[in-house]
Structure formats: C-alpha cells, structure tokens
Amino acid sequence: MLPRLIVLSVLLLPATTFAQEIGVEPYLQLASPTAIHVMWESDSETDASVEYGLTEALGTTVTAGNDAGSFGHYHHRAELTGLTPATRYHYRVTSGSTSSDIHDFITPAEASAEADLRIVAMSDMQQDWQNTHVFEEVTNEGVIDFTTEEWSDDLAAELNAVMVPGDLVTTGPSYDEWPDTFFTPGQNLFHHVPLYPVPGNHEGDSANFFNFFHLPGNEHWWGHSVGNVRMIGLDSNGGYRTQEQLDFLEGELEDACADADIDFVFAQLHHPHKSELWLAGETAWSGDAIALLEAFSTDCGKPSLHFFGHTHGYSRGQSRDHRHVMVNVATAGGNIDYWGEYAQADYDQFVISQDEWGFVMMEVSAGDAPSFRLRRVSRGNENLARDNEVRDLLTVRTNNDPPATPEALSPADGETAPDLSPLLVASTYSDPDTDLHGGSHFQVSADCADWSDPMAEAWIQHINEYGGVDLQAGDDLADTVIEGLLPGMEVCWRVRYRDQGLAWSDWSAPAGFRTAGDALTKNLLLNPGAEDGIEHWSITSGTLESVTGGECEGVEPRSGGRYFAIGGLCADESETASAVQRVEVDAYAKAIDDERATAFIAGWFRDFSGDDLPEVEVIAIDAKGAKIASSGRHGEPIATWTQLTDELPLPPGTRSLDFLMHGTRFAGTDNDSYLDDLELRLAITPLPDPGDDDDSAGDDDDDDDDDSASDVEGCSCGSSIGGSGSAGWLLVLVLLGRRRRG
C-alpha cells in the first residue's frame, strides 16, 4: 500500500507548489520617444514591479498594476516615463518572489530625427491542429533568423514594431490559449519589440484580448505614430462596423495629413474587402475604410497601405487610382487556404496571391526622400518548405517622377478598326527614374472630350500571380484587345502608364476610331438594372428581387444602386427561378423579314461564391405567339461581375422577343444568381440601294412597318469620329484576353 499512499499524498499537495508565477513573459506596447508600457501576466496579486536602467544593473523601479484576469491570473502593466529618445534600456519584471530574465528595448527616435524604421507585419497565428508548431517557427526561424541574417541579432536595435491584424489565438475566450499559443511562441520577439494588434473574429470580442493589451483610444480602434509612420488599428468585426469608427479613421487621416513629420500611413484591420483565396471572408465595411485611406493618399499626397488577414495566405495589390497598397499578411500559423480549396477570384487589384505561411518586413526610410520597401518572407506550406525566401518585393517613394506620357498608336485617330475586337497599341514605356513598367490603363469612351463615365477600361498590371502561375508573364503592357464592340460605333481610346512605384503618367491624347458594320438600336429593355424594382419583368417561376448593395448579405451592384437576384436572396428562396420581359419588334418587321436584323444580347452576371448559376436567354416569337428561334441560355457560376455578349439572327416572321433571366441554386439556402445592366439591341443592315423605301436607310415615308431609324443609335449624324454626335452610344463590351504585339 505504500506506493499508493505516496501517490495520494502527492496529489493532495497544494497547486501553488507547482505554479509558475510568471505565466506570460514581459512584452512591450505603446513605445514613444520618452515612454513605453511593459506588460506581463502572473498568478501573484501583489508585489508586481519593473526594474529598468541604462545598464543591466538597472536601478530604477516602477510599481505595476494588478488587474484581475481569469482563473487566479493577474495582468500587470507599468508605464516607464521620462525616457530618453533613441536609447537602449534594460529591464526585468517581478511578481511576488519571481523575476524574469533581463531584456532590453530601444526607445523610438523623435520624428524630427528622421530615423529609419523596420516593422514586422503578420497575422492569423491561431493554431492549425495539424501544424501546431508554425507560429513558433515563423517567429524564431522566420522573423528572428531573417533579422539576424539581414542585419544583426540585436532585435531591439533592428526592429521597431510588430503589427498583427487579428486572429492571435484560435478561441479568444479560452484563457490558456493566450500564453500557450501566442505569447510563449512569440516571446523571444515580444521581449524587445513593441506589439500592436487588433482583434480578429477568433478573438470573439473576448475580454482576454483587452486585458492582455493596452492600446490608445477605446482599444477597438486606435492611432499611434512611430517616426514618420502613423499606425492605425481598426476593428472590422461584426458589431463594430460603424460610422463612428469610420469617423475616427477620417479624423486620424486628417491629423496625419497635417503632421509634417508623417510620410506614410499603415493601417490594419482583420477582414478583407477583396480576397482572392477566400471570397467568403470579404466584408463590405472594410471597403468603406479602404476608400477613406485611398482618398487620403490622393488628397494628401502621402502613400498609405493597409494590412489585413482572415484569409490564410499572402496577397498583395494596390488601388488603381491611388497610391494605396493592400497586403494580406497571413498566415503565421493558421490552416492555409490552398488554391482550389474554396471559391476564389482573380481581382484586378491584386498582383500576387500565395498559399503559404510567412510574414512581411517593412523597411521605412525618412529624410528628404521618404520611402518604404515591402518584402514578403515565405516559410512555404505543407507541400513545399521555404526557408525565409523573399517571394514579393515592392518599393514606394514619395518623390517619384512619373513615366513619360504614352501615345495611342493603333487604331490611329480617324481609322476604322478591321473587326469588332481591335488591338489597342500604345507607344514604348519610358521612365525618367528608370523605374520598371508597373501597369497600363486603357479606356474607351463615346466622347473624346468626356471621360467621366468610360464605356470600358482595362487595367493590366506587370505581374498577376494567381493559382501559382504568373498570368501576365511576358506581357509588355503596351497593348490590349477589347472584345464585343458593337458594329458601326464611333469611339475614342486613350492610355496611361504606371511605374512599379505606383506613379501614373498623364493620359495620352485620345484617338478616335470607328468599328466596322451597321449601327444598333437603343436598349429595348425597360428597367434593365433593377433600379425600378422588378417593374416591367414578369416572374414565370420562383422569386425575383431587386436588391441594394449588401442587402441580405448579398453583393454590391455592378452599377447603380440595385441588381436583380433571380431565385431569392432575402425571402422565398427557390432552387430555380425565371423572369421574362417581352419586347415588341413590329417596327422592324420589314428588315426582319428581309433577314437584315440581328438581336445583340448583353448583361453582367455573378453569384456569391462560384456555386449558383445566373443565365440569360432571348427567344424570337412570331405573330401567333409561337417560339421560332432561341439564343440558348448563357451564363456561368462565377463570384465576380462578368459580362456576357451574344447575338441572335432574327428569322423572318419575328414580331416580339422574350428576354429571360434564369437562376439555378447548386449550394446553400439562398439562390445567389445575380444579374445587372442587361441589354437587348437590334442591328439593322441597310439595303444597298440608297433609294430603297426601307426606313432603316433614313427616308421619311409613312410606312407603318418602317425600321424606326430614330431608334438607331450611333448614326453619323454629321458628327466627326468621337465627337458629341456619338455621345449617345451605350457600349456593350468586355475587356477579356490580353494579347502581346507580335
């Protein structure tokens, strides 16, 4: 019995015998030139303090607070004040009878000193149960080893901040996860470099997050400056996507604009507005915040970026019209969102997406020529390990001369394009700073003097790494093909070039050209974009809704304020649905019966996540109501607004057209089949004899069966190419494949 009694006596010993008094090693927050906050956690309610000094002898002691946490733990925080800027301090913390090792930090320099900075950004280190080691590896073998190899092992001297846009742990309310899966794996870094997080969805709005961190403001959103960078933290979780927070952001940006010492704004929030690897993680409110950052960069002339996470992989892109960069700095531990695993999309804004673990290193220069250099440092994934391989690089300078203004070469001004898919060709790229070509932006307009609402535009970037392949490889960015131009159109085009530092050239002088073929009628559909609800559309099965942007957790319209949801998004969802609008074409009977009429069909379609199927179809109806021809259904399950175009030669006897929209649900509860900006037009081929009495040729008899030339848009009407006479054109086109010259 003796062994059993011994075991029992051990089990009955007080738990404190085995307690480790300091549960979370000291970490740093809110560093300024003259102050810093030291924080840690222990199970001691009393005698918490920080000793610090210019040497390891320390010498000064500050009493720390003792805020009760969970399960007998206490959070301690001490603010060290009266410090000297740009100075190394040594420190250790004490709780009860236990003291930490001595660590060090260096206070930031005054902004006026124009000192350079280095900032680490990483997120989503919540543990993947199959790869529980990843965050510890990213911290020690990643950030620390990379810093040591690039500069030195003096972390306090080499790094100034760690920004973490959310999902620090898997389950925020689970107290033990904080020391076990976040602070302990990261402590070798956090001992020396101040930490600036924002909450993600995995934090669960838990009090643990706000107990472990001390951030300015209300701690859900905050601003803090280090050197020439204004860091801004936002809470993009449900319940905090408010106008109040956007107002706060706007105020921070106004302050950063007015501050002569601030050259850049680095914001962070957890949820993406756009996410190539995981569409389901997108949040519309984040787009509102990003719009404010974009406007700041343009209005103030100071580049900005935002870090985000939520999607477990790396992505980097930039706004087209603003010097704003968007960077997904995940994943530092979470289960990777691999290619093909979820609904995904190739967005124009993004140039690189990679399904890998890793972190981002930001190097910021101040002085007369401020700049930042972004490097993505990869640790690879489960299929291919990488040892701190730099997989992306971007440098942005405030003083950056733009590229030379390009010239629109072909089609040249006054030419007629040989087909309806012309190749737009511009002049060779040139840049005074010898910066490499970063992108090209082509636009097509009905009026050379008015570019406020382009008919079409193509934005092509120098790389597009998507699905593990650079889809832009070898493209010189000097040309693009536009497909789906309508016959007989008079349009203008222009182009501008961007360097890889995000500076745009001026626009080229516009060049006007005409497409071959015959002119088209106006759009014969009424309420083609759901702006008038579902008026003029008849439901033949299921449900049809007119939905505003974000309503019922849907998407944003392609244009205007509404779009069609065919099949039910908000209520009465059905597996299939159809709606129709009948268009009478008696006025074009003569041309139809002479086989000189073709119906041109266009529209924009998408679904929510690449599962459900929106389609359109046009059916030709004779005078007795019989169906005599059909275009067939056309659509595709795709999670971004995409245009379709088609045509249907009208058989003799056609007197009306049924334009149908269909929606089919393949997944989920909602039928996420969306349509917007639908079009139905007729192309009428004139008779070769100008004296023919067919009114499509422009005569003015009283034949009731004329071809209604007044409805035909795009007639020359005495105007020059690209002049005001062509301003009434509505272009149905889609910018698709990009083709290199030669």
**Cβ atoms 657, 621 nearer than 8 A:** yes
Tokens 């041309």 map to which residue?
591
β-pair partners for 520: 683, 713
| Averaged pLDDT for residues 422-439 | 96
Predicted local distance difference test score (pLDDT) of residue 643: 87
Topology alike, domains 17-107 and 413-506: yes
**CATH superfamily entry for domain 17-107:** Immunoglobulins (2.60.40.10)
Calculate the CA dihedral of residues 619, 620, 623, 628 and round it to 10 degrees: -100
Distance of CA 734 to the CA centre of its chain: 21
**401-417 per-position pLDDT tens digit:** 999 999 999 999 999 88
**Cβ atoms 621, 576 nearer than 8 A:** no
What is d(CA 253, CA 230) in angstroms, rounded to the nearest whole number?
A: 9
- Burial code of 580-592, b = ≥16 C-beta within 10 A, e = fewer? bbebebebbbbbb
Could you tell me which residue, 638 or 152, shows the higher pLDDT?
Answer: 152
> What kind and span of H or E run contains 582?
strand 576-584
Pick the CATH number of 538-713 from 2.60.40.420, 3.40.1370.10, 2.60.120.200, 3.40.50.11810: 2.60.120.200
Give me the phi and psi of 62, to 5 degrees please.
-125, 130
| Averaged pLDDT for residues 174-192 | 96
Q: What radius of gyration do the chain's Cα atoms show? A: 31
- Strand residues in 43-160 grouped as ranges (E): 48-53, 60-63, 67-68, 74-80, 88-95, 98-99, 103-106, 117-121
**Range name among 248-262, 496-510, 590-604 with the lowest pLDDT average:** 590-604
What is d(CA 393, CA 314) in angstroms, rounded to the nearest whole number?
A: 13
Q: Which of 444, 455, 422, 454 is nearest to 495 (CA)?
A: 444
**725-739 per-position pLDDT tens digit:** 333 333 333 333 333
What is d(CA 272, CA 166) in angstroms, rounded to the nearest whole number?
A: 12
What is d(CA 50, CA 36) in angstroms, rounded to the nearest whole number?
A: 12
Predicted local distance difference test score (pLDDT) of residue 689: 57
**Range name among 49-63, 109-123, 165-179, 485-499 with the lowest pLDDT average:** 485-499
What is d(CA 465, CA 346) in angstroms, rounded to the nearest whole number?
A: 9
**Cβ atoms 525, 656 nearer than 8 A:** no
Distance of CA 307 to the CA centre of its chain: 11
CATH class of domain segment(s) 413-506: mainly beta
Label residue 110 by pLDDT band (50, 70, 90): very high
CATH class of domain segment(s) 112-397: alpha beta
Distance of CA 30 to the CA centre of its chain: 29
What is d(CA 725, CA 340) in angstroms, rounded to the nearest whole number?
A: 48
Domain ranges of the chain: 17-107, 112-397, 413-506, 538-713
| Averaged pLDDT for residues 278-307 | 97
Predicted local distance difference test score (pLDDT) of residue 690: 53
**563-582 per-position pLDDT tens digit:** 999 999 999 999 999 999 99
What is d(CA 277, CA 623) in angstroms, rounded to the nearest whole number?
A: 51
